[in-house]
Structure 1
Amino acid sequence: MGGSNLWDPEWEVSEGLARKFISSQFPQLAHLTIHKLGYGWDNTVYRVGDEFVFRFPRRKVAIAPLQMEGKILPMLEAYIPIPYSKPLFFGEGDYEYPAPFLGYPYLIGKFPIGLTDEQRTLSAPILARFLKRLHTFPVQLAVESGIQFDHRNLTDIALRKEKMLIFLADLRAHISDEDYQAMADYLHELNTEPVEPSHIFLHGDLHFKNMLVDEQGLISGIIDWGDMNIGHPACDLNVVYSFLPPGARASFFAEYGEVDEETKRLARLIAVYIPMLIWMQAIDDHEAAVAEEAKTIIARALADA
């Protein structure tokens, strides 16, 4: 794929530059080892010692979301029943690197790649309780703090469908005929009628690269809150289709609360849309395991469509 993509960086933060910023602004951490954990669309991530992790924006568009994390995440402590990325260190850039950066506790866990359906099913009540509590965070407080409304316009199903058909064409060389046909059939048959607006406080980008699991495969933490917004609960409920196998979905909704069919329609759509983007980036970055997981997620999301 290559070319100019939304995940292409504007700044590269080297280990030396990260060490310089962290040690000069937080001298109590200067003796700790620093090594790169990886990067996403918006941030480069470094582990500092055994206890902390720092995120450095790699694009201008990531600065405002990071600043919002610093403001909002400390307010969420009473609303989140599992570990999450609560910022502890607030750093500032300079002429070498013109962006703020944040440091958080290091959350133990790994991305949920390659889990069995049985492992995923065990996390259904954990995810349901997490989202049920998170979605009660006061919308008015979020608005007063500067949180945006559906800034990625994920509820526009017709626009998502249009983009996904383009993504599917781009991915064609990497998909089996059977998987390609399943995705094409889903998109061509998709009902694009708009969903009724809903205003709930959201994580906003809940996918497998922003979730952690422990050694048993149970959800152990939620990271990367840069896309927090006020919008439709389906945007977070995509995990019902992307993370959970079909047999675990009823138990999730029994704990979270039932939702209407258009919410499920939008949740499933996002459960396919986001992995398509992750898959394309993984192909560009030669990350075979991530690409395979994204492909598997799409198949899971469509399993009972």
Structure 2
Amino acid sequence: MKPSITTDLVRALIAEQFPQWSDLPVTPVPRQGWDNRTFRLGDQLSVRLPSGEGYVAAVEKENRWLPELAGHLPLPVPSPVAVGRPGAGYPFPWSVRQWLAGDTLEDAAEVGRDRLASDLGAFLTVLRQAPVPGPAGGRHSFFRGCHPSVYGDQVEQALEQLGDTVDGPACRSVWAQALKSAWPSAPVWFHGDIAVGNLLVRDGRLAAVIDFGTCGVGDPACDLVIAWNSLEGTERAAFRDAVGLDRQTWQRARGWALWKALIMLAEPGAAPAWRDVVDRVLADPGTA
């Protein structure tokens, strides 16, 4: 059962554990993620609380590794300022973070999208090069950073459920290509959830990357999924050029994108946008 996370709860936790900030206003951010609830605390801080027990390990991971990664990255990331303990009826550890100004990409206006795609690719390139040891991809990252074959059963189940509403042979061909290679080098850092809600924009430019709850070290193919989920034409090309990864990594990334789109499309009342993602994955391999 997920706890009820409200403004009053956050105020109570702050007053109990960090009274130096108890006079600061607490306001929920407009768009909330599924894994965590986020509140702004004054002008410079934010409060982040796991929404369920399954997400506690991700928050602890961010608290452990973001301070070390931050010094190696070209854009701000939400490093923790303080770590809270269970209290006021809330059962999980939680954290106070730096507030990073900006609008999420899904809400930002007048974005230079080609430049943003290029900047995102450059950010991921630097992230891969971070000389910081980290946790190998696995259950804590929902298997991001692992080989896409880990979700083979889910792909097949979704295709059987969707039947002739999707091009099954084409989907299976893309999936088969994704399984033909593996990351050949030493494990590298990956973010694990590069999505429009986790990219902050200021003055039309990429300003920060947030929500590292599924990060780890392993195969970076999972970080390319945004190429089909959110980028178009020249944006996708700019991202591809900047991220600097080989064709086989892109084939695995295409498999990751197909897996997510198929399992979401198979859900009752699925958003039509997921069918669009399937169509883009089938039409565009993402590589030059």
Report the TM-score when normalising by structure 1. 0.76
Deviates most, 155-164 or 128-137: 155-164
Native 8 Å contact 1:113 1:293 kept in 2: no
Relative to structure 1, the CA distance from residue 76 to residue 59 in structure 2 (aligned partners, 3 Å threshold; closer, same or farther) is same
Residue 209 of structure 1 pairs with residue 197 of structure 2: yes
What's the counterpart of residue 213 of structure 2? 226
Q: How many residues align?
A: 277
Aligned counterparts, 1:51-200, within 5 A: 51-94=44-87, 96-113=89-106, 119-138=112-131, 141-142=133-134, 147-151=135-139, 152-154=142-144, 155-167=146-158, 180-181=165-166, 184=168, 186-190=170-174, 191=176, 193-197=179-183, 198=185, 199-200=187-188
Q: Please provide the CA RMSD for this pair.
A: 3.3
Q: CA deviation at 1:231?
A: 1.1
Paired with 1:132 and 1:125, the residues of 2 have a C-alpha distance of 11
Q: Tell me, in whole angstroms, the C-alpha distance in 2 between the residues paired with 1:210 and 1:272.
A: 20
Report the CA distance shift for 1:14/1:135 in structure 2 as closer, same or farther (over 3 A).
same
Distance in 2 (CA, whole Å) between partners of 1:21 and 1:204 is 29
- For residue 261 of structure 1, what is the amino acid of its counterpart? R
CA distance in 2, matches of 1:127, 1:95: 39
Task: State the partner residue of 1:304.
Answer: 284
User: Given that residues 207 and 274 in structure 1 are in contact (C-alpha distance below 8 angstroms), is that contact kept between their aligned partners in structure 2?
Assistant: no
Taking the aligned partners of 1:27 and 1:211, their CA distance within structure 2 comes to 31
Deviation, 1:96, is 1.6
Which structure 2 segments of 5+ residues have no match?
Answer: none
1:35-81 CA-partner distances (Å, limit 9, x unpaired):
22254332121122232221111211211221121111011122211
Distance 1:167 1:50 in 2: 45
Q: More displaced, 51-60 or 294-303?
A: 294-303
Distance (Å, rounded) in 2 between the aligned partners of 1:294 and 1:113: 16
Pairwise mapping of residues 265-280 of structure 1 onto structure 2 (< 5 A)? 265-274=251-260
**Counterpart for residue 3 of structure 1:** none
Deviations 1:111-161 (A, max 9, x none): 32278998422212211210111111125x22xxxx233433344434434
From 29, 34, 38, the counterpart of 2:26? 34
The alpha carbon displacement at 1:264 in A equals 0.5
The answer as to 2:12 corresponding to 1:20 is yes
CA distance in 2, matches of 1:115, 1:300: 23
Amino acid at match of 2:242: E
**SS of structure 2 residue aligned to 1:17:** helix
Partner of 2:28: helix, strand, or coil?
A: strand
Q: Which string of whole-angstrom CA distances, capped at 9 and with x for unpartnered residues, describes residues 71-126 of structure 1?
A: 11011122211122111121111372221111112222233227899842221221
Q: What percent of counterpart residues are identical?
A: 26
Unaligned runs of at least 5 residues, structure 1: 1-8, 285-290
Work out whether 1:256 is the aligned partner of 2:243.
yes
